[in-house]
Chain A
Amino acid sequence: MSRKMPEIPSASLADIAFMLLIFFLVTTTMDVDSGLRRRLPQWVDKEQEDDTDINERNIFVVLVNKNNDLLVEGDYERIDNLRERAKEFMENPFDDANLPEKEPKEIPYFGEVMVTKGVISLRNDLDTQYGTYLAVQNELVAAINELRDELAMRKWGKPYSNLDSEQQDAVREIYPQKISEAEPKGKI
């Protein structure tokens, strides 16, 4: 058996590879799925819903009606201003009597800090557009994220996302993401 095997032609290899390539181009997608991450509250039955009274000054009421207008703390507001308003509410830098109370809390790295008791309450109409709703949510989340970032910059000189997890926990405790969504009513 001294006969040599003929070499397999490899000219069609490129064609085969191209075919595979095109198959993968067609059947796959490249989009990275990203979005606004939220956590829904636990389901509670109607009877055992707790009506814990929260002081009026501790609630930041945002209403969105069916025409996609915003009512923030009783007056009309444009969506561009919402972030500033929410930040002012959560921070309450001058201990204004109309803005939320604060309570002292022991927090690692910071010692005793005055932590706001403020809660953001968001309520929308059943006919509100989803786009507007998400824009409002985005502004509220952005407000809290900015506060966290500012605090992290002041304390460690780097943004919140670059802190280690314990530091992040501490910052999160000072500025919790308390956004509650009330059940929408037919009309506001």
Chain B
Amino acid sequence: MSKFRKDGGKELPPISTASLPDIVFMLLFFFMVSTTMREVTLKVKMRLPEATELSKLEKKSLVSYIYIGEPQPQFQKTFGKAPRIQLNDQFADVSEVQDYVIAEREARVEAERPMIVTSLKIDENTKMGIVNDVKQELRKSAALNINYSSRRRAER
């Protein structure tokens, strides 16, 4: 058992840290590739509903988002507790949805416009009234591809 012998005679050479930057760079590249930039700060609280028949949204650049939910606590003083719509970085009214959709469409290349998907991120406790108004607005502005954003439910 001479391998585990304790002798103070020899000192261990210090671990080389020359490869540390390489390791960190590797991690960095991993995160750069596998994540996406946060594009908006959420102003509404959301707990997405659960579903099983999910499909992934493949091209992030073709997706525009509409958020609906109760305002975050710090905004409740000014906006109240009733569910609100959030477009881009601010609260919006139902009537502004059409303008938003058109602006989103203008921002894309013409060839990609028919493939735009509107992702509806809606809190599960929202009443259907507001959701329905938004859906009607989307129909009016011919944004027919929608995606009800939801979490994966564990199979029963």
Contacts and interface: CB of A to CB of B under 8 A. Distances in A.
Interface residues on chain B, size class: 35 or more
Given A13-B21, A24-B32, A133-B128, A36 B38 contact: no
B55 A14 contact: no
Contacts of A113: none
Interface in A6-35: 10, 13-14, 17-18, 20-21, 24-25, 27-30, 32-35
A62 to B, nearest CB: 14
A14 B24 contact: yes
Interface in A49-64: none
A137 B148 contact: yes
Please indicate which of the listed interface residues A24, A36, A135 has the most CB atoms of chain B within 10 Å of its own CB. Answer: A36
B125 A28 contact: no
Nearest to A26: B38
A130 B49 contact: yes
A17 B24 contact: yes
A107 interface: no
Contacts of A27: 37-38
B74 interface: no
A28 B35 contact: yes
Interface residues of A, number: 42
Given A28-B37, A34-B149, A35-B119, A14 B21 contact: yes
Given A28-B35, A29-B36, A39 B125 contact: no
Contacts of A24: 28, 31-32, 35
B20 interface: yes
Contacts of A14: 17, 20-21, 24
B56 interface: yes
B125 A131 contact: yes
Contacts of A40: 135, 138-139, 143-146
Interface string B43-63: 000000111111111001001
A39 B143 CA distance: 9
Given A125-B128, A133-B128, A184-B132, A33 B63 contact: yes
6 contacts: A17-B28, A33-B63, A37-B55, A38-B148, A41-B139, A145-B53
